[in-house]
Amino acid sequence: MQNNETIVNIIRFLVLVLIQVLVLNHINFLGHINPYLYPLFILVFPLTGNKTLLIFLSFFLGLSIDIFGDSGGVHAAACVFIAWIRPVVLKYSFGVSYQLNTLKISKAPLLKQLVYIISMVLFHHLILFSLEIFNVSHILLILKSTLFSGIFSVVLIVCTILLFSKKEA
Amino acid sequence: MQRIILFFVQNRNFLLFVLLFAVSFALTVNTHSFHQSKVVSSANFLSGGIFGLKTSITDYFDLRTQNELLSEENKTLRTLLSNGGQLSSNGVSDSLPLDTNYRFISARVINNTYSKTKNNLTLNRGTSDSVKTDMGVLSPQGIVGMVNSVSKNYASVQSVLNTNSQIPAKFKKSNHFGTLIWNAKDPNVVQLIEVPRIAPVAIGDTIVTDAKSTIFPPGIRVGTVQNFDRKEGDDYYQIDVLLFTDMTSVKHVYLVTQRDASEIRELEKIVEDAEQ
């Protein structure tokens, strides 16, 4: 059971990284907008999993994307941030009940799912673009990129979750 | 020790987050040179700001020494300037300006008046510093007056704001000369008289000292023309000169003496006596 979960997670990790760097980073919608699918790994990581392990894994996830994209560490920083802040977001989107084993993300009410996904993605993109642009006077550009990439990423993540939950059912 | 380990264990997630975030931040900054320059410049902004604050406080404790150093430096520079770029006139590089035409002595004003009709200043140098009467006194901006009496440690200077004071001066642009006097009205304005009417006078012209004066080196800036007037039928202009020196706040001055001054004066006296 444990092994199964670990293997599933490893496969998820690798597949997400590969899809991101091989496919999604080259979309450049309207010139510069790219969706980011790999935060999905952090979003659907088992809710009862080890938090410390999650932070480590998200660091390596972001670092892999960075290595392929030559961006230095922005993805790693953003992923580490949302991995650390995940418990807080879970608490305010699903209520305190997330700590019980009974909650599965794909089975929760749609609104709560959306709140969770949108919050995590927005935090991630905000940190990502702030570090990338690194200039407070360009705050409008940061917010614009966050919003547009965020919408694109959220749409993609929701579709993927729907796809995979249907398969289980 | 136990409590430290307990602290680390209880907050391990946060500490791990901080650690990994710092690592990725460092990687980011190292990769992009724009980020590097911004980080370095904000570090400079922070450290520079704090150091600036510290020096603005510690500078106050150092002001007296700094002022004295600057005064000495100015004296050397003025010597250089007046002697055509040499500290000694025969070209031998000598640290003691013994053989130069103009010698400068730095001094500080210990008493100053500017509201009487005959104003004098007192300086903290006297015969023990080889100050003699009839030495010219300059400020960093222009002229101040001339020494009229000396004691062992102090000297009294007849200010340019003195109705007895008559200093030759000329226009910088055209070399037409006149005499500077004071009509006791404004402590910033002296009057230039005996300028012939063919001289081109305009507001803003610079007035400098003349070589005629054995007291001041030529070319020392005195002031600018504030306004001028010539009554009909008068052969001379009456010109108001706004002084460069603020006579109300002069503090550091330089006494200047010309080595050949006494020789020139003697020669002129002989000619004058012979003509009378």
pLDDT in tens, A81-115: 999 999 888 888 877 766 665 566 667 788 888 88
Q: What is the pTM of this model?
A: 0.52
- Residues in chain A with CB shorter than 8 Å from the CB of B26 are 73
Task: State the residue for tokens 């500017």.
Answer: B114
CA closest to A135 among chain B residues:
B38
Whether A167 shows a pLDDT value over 80: the answer reads no
The DSSP code sequence of B103-172 is EEEEEEEEEE--SSSEEEEEES--GGGT--TT-EEE-SSSEEEEEEEE-SS-EEEEEEEETT--EEEEET
| Nearest CA-CA distance, residue B87 and chain A, Å | 55
pLDDT single digits (tens) B225-264: 999 888 888 888 889 999 988 888 888 899 998 888 778 8
Task: Flag if A80 and B28 touch (Cβ within 8 Å).
Answer: no
Beta strands in chain B (DSSP E): 102-112, 118-123, 136-138, 143-150, 155-162, 167-171, 177-181, 189-196, 206-209, 221-229, 236-243, 252-258
Q: Cβ of B24 and A77 within 8 Å?
A: yes
Considering only B95-99, B174-178, B181-185, B190-194, which range has the smallest mean pLDDT?
Answer: B95-99
- Whether this model's ipTM surpasses 0.90 comes out as no
Mean pLDDT value of segment A27-35: 81
CB-nearest to A73 from B14, B17, B31 is B31
pLDDT of residue B34: 85
pLDDT value for B211: 81
Helix orientation angle between A110-133 and A74-94, rounded to the nearest 10 degrees = 150
Residue B96 has pLDDT above 70, yes or no: no
Q: How far apart are CA B225 and CA A45, in angstroms?
A: 85
